[in-house]
A and B are shown apart, each in its own frame.
Chain A
């Protein structure tokens, strides 16, 4: 009976640990979000979206970094998405079992979690050092390099889920393979592929490290992609580490904007795939 009691006691301890661990994990989420909402909303006003980043000690907004982030993110998606979708298409449709696919899948999975600062160094070497100056283009390309593996992965996964009977039906009425992919497979996998792109956007909109020495930063409004460009994460980094209270407040507000955007994107992405599963 003593053995039985120890076993039960041990089980109780383990169950308690599991519950405590879950509470512990959720506590951090609550703590971080609470501080973020509190500090972020106290600085949130219309001028954040209408004014430029201020010099220290005066009021201002985050208009130029917000625009810079939007522009660079859009260009990164425009460059990275087609490349990712095509590569994912090859892996799922043409060479599902060949050696190239195996290698690309392995390499892609590594790129997926490769340190983003290394990607910044890569683009610095390839673009900034060659052109001789920092630029918005370099920032966009660095982000695109992060977009590609995310899109490759989701495209491949989603196309593999498309039932082969659909492909066979298309082939049986004489549809060429490329049209079968574009008109049948893509349509069947559309929700999942859009999810992949949204997840990629969510991922890059918070990325700071690859922008630090590609797009650098810019105190002023700039629509010139050939010049250094401000972005929200880099401005947060700079302002948070500064000794000025105004800048720190703006950094919190910027952090809130990014987090809300990222959370919204991931919730939309999640609901897209959820719909697909239920239908």
Chain B
């Protein structure tokens, strides 16, 4: 095989010497290849540390100027160079919260339908359709939200919400008018549509990992489909489901384009979710290229750092949970 590995290299008269040479060369290239792959693996770590280092470096001027109060200040004024992050942070959390409130139950129900109820011949097509929905670039959701979804909400849904909740104490502030069309609620709904396929496909995979014997035993006792799912499947896969939900949350928090189109880019915290707001990613996308002055740019990078830290924590928890489930299924 060494001769084959030589691939037509010179096989001279003195076979012994050549053989030693070839072996030496192979040993070298072997070590070289191993070194290269190891280096590439380390490069992944370097990319991550590079991201963190460059964000910290870039946001240093802003963090030094504003200190911890950057996190809690609502003002965002490029003219007086006074910046605070609380409005975008609030918008990010609020839109993601709305998205998760809708996407989690719907996604879990779809996964239940796909694994327990759906006829066999329909499972694959629906599964593929859900995964295609996950593959559509976020800018498509954004442009659709801006031209189709926001006008629809403005004309039909939001007036109804304002009318319906107008007399109920807490909800009347939450749904206070006027109906802008674009705003926190619209962004949250678009995010929900975007995150739905992620949550669905992960929970479907997780539900499929439940040993059939467990389910059959429960069915054998006379449990209904709902009871099997609620008391056997869900407890067994709880960790994985939470992991999948956190993964979807990570997506929602960091999503830029789908939100930027429909959020309205207003730097204020409003009690009403119908009002325009902003998120961290939308602020950066809208203002970064137009930012003049080091402090302005630096404040935007500081926003990026905050976003990265939040998503890092959420994603790390998600991965740890999914790893725990895998260990359980494997062991």
Contacts and interface: CB of A to CB of B under 8 A. Distances in A.
Given A209-B281, A263-B135, A148 B44 contact: yes
Interface in A197-231: 202, 205-209, 212-213, 216
Contacts of B214: none
A25 B110 CA distance: 8
A152 interface: yes
A13 B128 CA distance: 26
Contacts of A206: 136-140
Contacts of B250: 113
Given A14-B225, A240-B147, A252-B143, 13 more contacts: A18-B112, A25-B107, A25-B110, A89-B40, A103-B45, A106-B319, A114-B254, A121-B301, A126-B50, A181-B33, A208-B137, A208-B138, A266-B132
B37 A255 contact: no
A8 B288 CA distance: 57
Interface string B245-261: 00100110111110011
A233 B256 CA distance: 13
A212 B34 contact: no
A8 B224 contact: yes
B34 A121 contact: no
B193 interface: yes
Interface residues of A, number: 95
Interface size class of B (residues with CB under 8 A): 35 or more
Nearest to A182: B33
- Binding site of B, secondary structure by majority: helix, strand, loop or mixed? helix
Interface in B112-170: 112-114, 116-118, 126, 128-133, 135-144, 146-148
B193 A28 contact: yes
A99 to B, nearest CB: 11
A187 interface: no
B44 A262 contact: no
B41 interface: yes
Contact of A255 (B47, B114, B143, B308): B143
A42 interface: no
B109 A22 contact: yes
A109 B230 CA distance: 30
A258 B137 contact: yes
B228 to A, nearest CB: 10
B139 A10 contact: no
Contact of A21 (B40, B109, B141, B257): B109
B316 to A, nearest CB: 6
Contact of B139 (A8, A149, A237): A237
B162 to A, nearest CB: 24
A83 interface: yes
A161 interface: no
Contacts of A76: none
Interface in A22-80: 22, 24-26, 28-29, 31-32, 35-36, 39
Interface string A217-257: 00000000000000001001100110000001001100100
B110 to A, nearest CB: 5
13 contacts: A14-B226, A15-B225, A15-B226, A25-B133, A28-B196, A31-B148, A35-B144, A87-B37, A89-B40, A110-B315, A122-B55, A206-B140, A209-B256
A124 B55 CA distance: 10
Interface stretch (B24-32, B76-84, B171-179): B24-32
A-B complex: 6 closest residue pairs judged by Cβ atoms? A206-B137, A115-B254, A86-B40, A21-B109, A90-B37, A178-B33
Nearest to A270: B128
A194 interface: no
Query: A119, A206, A209, A248 — which one has the most chain B CB atoms within 10 A of its CB?
Result: A209
Contacts of A237: 139, 142, 257, 260
A122 B308 CA distance: 11
